[in-house]
Amino acid sequence: MPLDQTSLLLELEPVVATNLDRHLSLAKEWFPHEYVPWSEGRTFDGLLGGEPYRPTDSQLPDVARTALIVNLLTEDNLPSYHHEIATLFGRDGAWGTWVHRWTAEEGRHGIALRDYLTVTRAVDPVELERARMTHMEAGYSNGHPDEILHSIAYVAFQELATRISHRNTGKATGDPMAEQLLARVAADENLHMVFYRNLLAAAFDLDPNHAMRAVTDVVAAFEMPGANIEGFGRKALSIALAGIYDLRQHRDEVLQPVLRQWDVFGRTDLDGDGEKAREELAAHMDELEAQAARFEEKREARRQRLQR
Ligand SMILES: [Fe+2]
Ligand SMILES: [Fe+2]
C-alpha cells in the first residue's frame, strides 16, 4: 500500500531526527566576513559621492560574473524556498528544526556572495539589485507542491547541482579568494544533498514503488532552481559552454551518483508502476547521454572555429 503524505511525514520523522544530528555534528561554523577582502572596497557614487562602477573595476572573466550572478540570484530566492519546504514539511519536531537550520545556513550563502561581489566590484551593483528585485518578485514555486517524495528527490539533486555549479564557478573566476569562498559554499550544499539523499533512501525502503516514481518524474522534469531568472537560457548556455555546468556534469556528476546511492537499477523490491518508472528513467538517462555527447561535439567544433 502506498503511504499517504501525512503517514510519510510521520514515518520519516525519526530518519529526519537522526540525519539532523548527523548534519549538526558535521556542519562547520564559518563566517562570511572572513572571505571578503574589505580593504579592497571603495565607496560607490550616489548618496556618498564615491566612484561609479566600471566594468574594468574587476578582472573576473565575463562568464564567471554571469555564473556568480545566477548563483547569487538563486540563493536570493531563499524566502520562497523556505515557504515551500515549511509548507510541505511543517515547522514542528525534527522536520521544523531542519527547515529552520537549513534556511539559516542557506542565508549565509547569499550574504557571502553579495559582500564579495560588491566589495570587489565584480558586478554592476545597480543591475544586480534590479535583477534581485525582479527575480524575487517572481518568486519560486515547487514543481511538486503536494508530493513529499517528489520534493525530497528534487532537493537531493538540486543541492548537488548547486554544489557543482558553485565549485566550478569558483574555478572559473581565476581568483583564489572567490574560489575559496565558493568551495566553502559548495561544501554546505554537499551536506544538504547528503541529508536529503539519506531521507529518500529511507523512503525507498518504506515505499519503493512510490519513491521510484518520484525520482523518475523529478529527473525527467528537472530544472535548476534559478531557471526563472530573467535571461536564464542565454546565461545557462554561456555557463555550459564554459564547462561550469553542462548536461554532461548534470548527468554524470549530479544524477548518476545519487541514483547509484539509491541503487535504483539494482533494486529487487519494485513492481507495477515502480518497475515502469525505472524503465522510463533508464530511457531518459540514455537520452541525456546522447544529448550531452551532442552538446560536447558542438562545443568542441565551436572551440576550434574560435581558435582559427
Ligand atoms: Fe545555497
Ligand atoms: Fe543548500
- Tens of pLDDT, residue by residue over 214-263, are 999 999 999 999 999 999 999 999 999 999 999 999 999 999 999 999 99
Cell digits for 33? 566576513
Q: How far apart are CA 299 and CA 279, in angstroms?
A: 30
Cα 218-72-143 angle, rounded to 5 deg: 20
Give the number of whichever ligand sits closest to the CA of residue 158: 2
Average pLDDT for 146-151? 95
Q: How far is the CA of 253 from the centre of ligand 1 (A)?
A: 18
> Is residue 3 very low, low, confident or very high in pLDDT (cuts 50, 70, 90)?
confident
Q: How far is the CA of 281 from the centre of ligand 1 (A)?
A: 27
* pLDDT above 70 coverage of the chain, percent: 100
Q: Which residues pair with 51 in a beta bridge?
A: 44
Average pLDDT for 123-131? 98
pLDDT of 2 above 80 = no
Q: How far apart are CA 119 and CA 41, in angstroms?
A: 5
Please name the amino acid found at residue 63: V
Q: State the CB neighbour count (10 A cutoff) for residue 115.
A: 18
Q: How far is the CA of 251 from the centre of ligand 1 (A)?
A: 21
pLDDT, the chain, mean: 97
Q: How far apart are CA 153 and CA 277, in angstroms?
A: 14
> Is residue 141 very low, low, confident or very high in pLDDT (cuts 50, 70, 90)?
very high
The answer to whether 246 touches 96, Cβ cutoff 8 Å, is no
Within its chain, how far is the Cα of 97 from the centroid? Answer: 21
Give the number of whichever ligand sits closest to the CA of residue 102: 2
pLDDT of 288 above 90 = yes
Average pLDDT for 92-111? 97
Average pLDDT for 113-139? 98
For the stretch 26-29, contacts whose Cβ atoms lie closer than 8 Å and that sit 24 or more positions apart, written own/partner, are 26/191, 27/105, 27/188, 27/191, 28/187
**pLDDT value, residue 248:** 98
Give the number of whichever ligand sits closest to the CA of residue 106: 1
> Is residue 1 very low, low, confident or very high in pLDDT (cuts 50, 70, 90)?
low
Average pLDDT for 137-155? 94
User: For residue 91, what is the DSSP state?
Assistant: S
> Is residue 191 very low, low, confident or very high in pLDDT (cuts 50, 70, 90)?
very high
Cell digits for 125? 551593483
User: For residue 46, what is the DSSP state?
Assistant: S
SS3 276: helix
SS3 24: helix
Within its chain, how far is the Cα of 161 from the centroid? Answer: 5
Q: How far is the CA of 158 from the centre of ligand 2 (A)?
A: 8
Residue with C-alpha cell 529511507? 202
Question: Among residues 26, 166, 33, which one has the least CA distance to residue 108?
Answer: 33
Within its chain, how far is the Cα of 94 from the centroid? Answer: 23
**pLDDT value, residue 118:** 98
Q: How far is the CA of 18 from the centre of ligand 1 (A)?
A: 22
**pLDDT value, residue 186:** 98
Question: Among residues 148, 154, 131, which one has the least CA distance to residue 218?
Answer: 154
Give the number of whichever ligand sits closest to the CA of residue 101: 2
**pLDDT value, residue 308:** 85
The answer to whether 203 touches 147, Cβ cutoff 8 Å, is no
Backbone CA torsion sign across 249, 71, 26, 95: negative
Q: How far is the CA of 55 from the centre of ligand 1 (A)?
A: 26
Q: How far is the CA of 166 from the centre of ligand 1 (A)?
A: 9
Is the pTM for the entire model greater than 0.85?
yes
Q: How far apart are CA 186 and CA 265, in angstroms?
A: 28
> Is residue 83 very low, low, confident or very high in pLDDT (cuts 50, 70, 90)?
very high
* pLDDT above 90 coverage of the chain, percent: 97
> Is residue 145 very low, low, confident or very high in pLDDT (cuts 50, 70, 90)?
confident
Q: How far is the CA of 126 from the centre of ligand 1 (A)?
A: 23
Q: Which residues pair with 44 in a beta bridge?
A: 51
